[in-house]
Amino acid sequence: MELTTTVTNDEQNSVARIALAGALNTDTAPDFEKQLSAVLAGQQNLILLDMKDLDYISSAGLRVIFKGAKQAKASGQRMAAANRKPHIDKVFEILKALPDMAVFANEQELDDYLDAMQKQVRDN
């Protein structure tokens, strides 16, 4: 299975959204790692991994996300995952991976989060 990624930048909210579709495994992880670091270099505040169409993730894929989250934290950015399918969720659960990462179950939670952030910005 291949991995397709689509990156959209929301400059207004400083959010980079990476939509993942297909399988993030040993074969596809190296390419994704490059893409992720390019996005991280874009200096958006929030890097959102949209896993709505992600069917499969292995530890090699998790490693890349893990590494990205570490990098993001070091540079003051945040990384979040949204729309995880149950079996993807199970892998995250098993590995108790990324406890620091924000997780949004669906689009509504994400919007709420973004609103809260904007409100915070306005209040400041």
Partner 1 sequence: MLVDYRLNRDDILERLQRESQDTINAVIIDMENWLDGVESSTLLVARILQQRHYSHEGLLQILRDAVEVNDDIYGAAIALAPDQADQARGFAPYFFRRNGELSYANLADPDYNYQAQAWYTDAVAAQSALWVEPYYDEGGGKILMTTFAVPVYRETDSGERFLYAVVTADVSLAELHDYLQRLRLGSSGFGTLLSRNGTILSGRNPANIMRHYSDTIVEEVDHNTWREMFDAALKGQVVIRHLTCADVPGRCVIRLGTLKSTGWPVGVVYSEDEITAPLREFELKTALIGLLTMLMMAIAVAIVTRRLTRPLQDLTLASDRIAQGDLETPLPAVRGNDEVARLIHSFTAMKKDLKSYIADLETATARRSRLEGELGAAREIQMAMLPHGGEANEVAEDFGLWARVLPARSVGGDLYSYFCRDRLLFITVGDVSDKGVPAALFMARAMSLIQQLAATADDPAAAVALLNEALTSGNDNCMFVTLFLGILDLDSLELRFASAGHTAPSLVRDGGVSSLLQETGPALGLSPDLAFPTNTVALHPGDRLAIFTDGIDEAFNEQDQMFGIARFNAALLAAGGLSTGTAGRELFDTLATFTGAKPQSDDITLLLLDIADPQRLTLQASSEFPLGPKLTGRVEAWLCEVLEQLAPPQEALGELLLAVEEIVSNVYKYAKLPAGAALQITAEAGAQQIEIEVTDEGIAFNPLEEAQRAELGASIDDAAIGGLGVHLITTMTERQSYRRTGGCNILRVTKFIAKPQD
Residues that bind partner 1 (CB under 8 A): 1, 25-27, 55-56, 58-60, 62-63, 66-67, 69-70, 73, 87, 90-91, 94-101
Q: In what order do the strands lie in the sheet with 78-82?
A: 3-10, 15-24, 46-57, 78-82, 102-104
Number of H-type helices and E-type strands within the chain: 4, 5
Q: How far is the CB of 28 from partner 1 (least distance, A)?
A: 9
- Calpha distance 84→96 (Å, rounded): 14
Closest CB to partner 1 among residues 97, 103: 97
Q: How far is the CB of 118 from partner 1 (least distance, A)?
A: 26
Q: Which two tokens stand for residue 123?
A: 């209040």
Closest CB to partner 1 among residues 19, 61: 61
Q: How far is the CB of 38 from partner 1 (least distance, A)?
A: 19
